[in-house]
Homo-oligomer: A and B are copies of this chain.
Amino acid sequence: MKFNISHIDKLSKARAGEIIKTSQVTGKKIIVPTPIFMPVGTAGSVKGVHARELEKDIGTNLILGNTYHLFFRPGTQILKQAGGLHGFMGWNKLILTDSGGYQVHSLAHKRKISEEGVHFACHLDGSKHTFTPEKVIDMQRAIGADIIMAFDECTPPECSYGYAKDSMELTHRWLQRCIKRCNDTEKEKTQIFFPIVQGSIYKDLRRISAETIAAADMSGNAIGGVCHPSGHLYEITEFVCDILPKDKPRYLMGVGTPEDILECIALGVDMFDCVMPTRNARNGQLFTTKGRINIRNKKWESDFSMIDEDLGGYVSTHYTKAYLRHLMRSNELLGAQIASIHNLTFYLWLVKQAREHIVKGDFAVWKGNAIKVFMSKI
């Protein structure tokens, strides 16, 4: 994997670059322009979106899969037989998998953390499992993603200093075990490993963690534990970005709104993922070039303008707001499909716009107005 930065904004820390990685499926080079947003394909599918729609309509070539979900369904055995997640889901482009660290925290029951790993009961059937750093690497080897993540503890929001410190130190010890397992199981250098900075809202912990993660000298680095609405997102992100190496991609996990993405691009983040565009789509919230829309509202009942003419793309210029409102209110599957493709198209357009303005040199100026427009309610 290569990461080239071509432009740095003069008025902010925003960077325009490219991640270049050879496809494990086709052997061809795939170029991911950064900053980039990765659609979330939790259980082997981006909900409501066909593989060809991801590629052709939304214009993405890097999506995210959740190791926790894939472990339970379809299971790593099936994924191995299928030749990994790429083959299983019919996706020729790039995949990043998280480590399950966040899901064992947010979804699993009866969670107990020990030095060994996390013991928990599955949210689906209550069955008992243990995720260890070694097991999580093995799972990600079976899934076969292009970028794989370290197993960390994602600290709860507003946790105490003591908890955060102990947790961070455990995450660092787990990192060493992850790296060892990666080295022990690496056959061909096709999977890239990213470690994750933790440390909650405490800057001295974040500093230690960022320095530890930087010292691991991997091809890219991630920042975890900031996606809770803690009010410290920008402060912590900037603080950590300043410590992490400049010449490697920085991935801010689980973020966020269009505003958060643009602000964090300005702080030096290169990669984002979030369920917001698809989850909100299923509830009827659209992100558009004119602002945010609750498509279920009566005001759209007889609005026969296209969903978003300026955004372009099939669904946003083929279907009207009135039609989408009708589908959502009638619980028609197609409503969730249209809204999901639309929102993901918007998110990919958003980071592309940001990139163009970084290249052009007016990102910081553009950002202020863009946030005002995109976050407005219309």
Contacts and interface: CB of A to CB of B under 8 A. Distances in A.
Interface of A: 43-52, 73-74, 78, 81-82, 87-90, 301-302, 304, 314-315, 318-320, 322-323, 326-327, 329-330, 332-334, 336-338
A333 to B, nearest CB: 4
Nearest to A46: B334
B81 A327 contact: no
Nearest to A78: B302
A49 B52 CA distance: 14
A47 B337 CA distance: 10
Number of copies: 2
B43 A332 contact: yes
Nearest to A336: B333
Closest 7 CB pairs of A and B: A48-B333, A74-B326, A45-B334, A43-B330, A73-B330, A45-B332, A90-B318
13 contacts: A44-B323, A44-B327, A44-B330, A48-B337, A52-B314, A78-B326, A82-B322, A87-B304, A88-B320, A88-B322, A88-B323, A90-B319, A337-B337
Contacts of A89: 323
B52 A326 contact: no
A304 B45 contact: no
Given A48-B333, A50-B334, 17 more contacts: A43-B326, A44-B332, A46-B334, A47-B333, A48-B337, A50-B314, A50-B337, A52-B314, A52-B318, A74-B322, A78-B301, A82-B304, A82-B322, A88-B323, A89-B323, A90-B323, A333-B336
A302 B81 contact: yes
A93 to B, nearest CB: 14
Contacts of A44: 323, 326-327, 330, 332
Q: Name the residue among A46, A47, A87, A323 with the largest chain B CB count within 10 angstroms.
A: A323
A322 B49 contact: no
Nearest to A80: B302
A302 B48 CA distance: 23
Contacts of A73: 326, 329-330
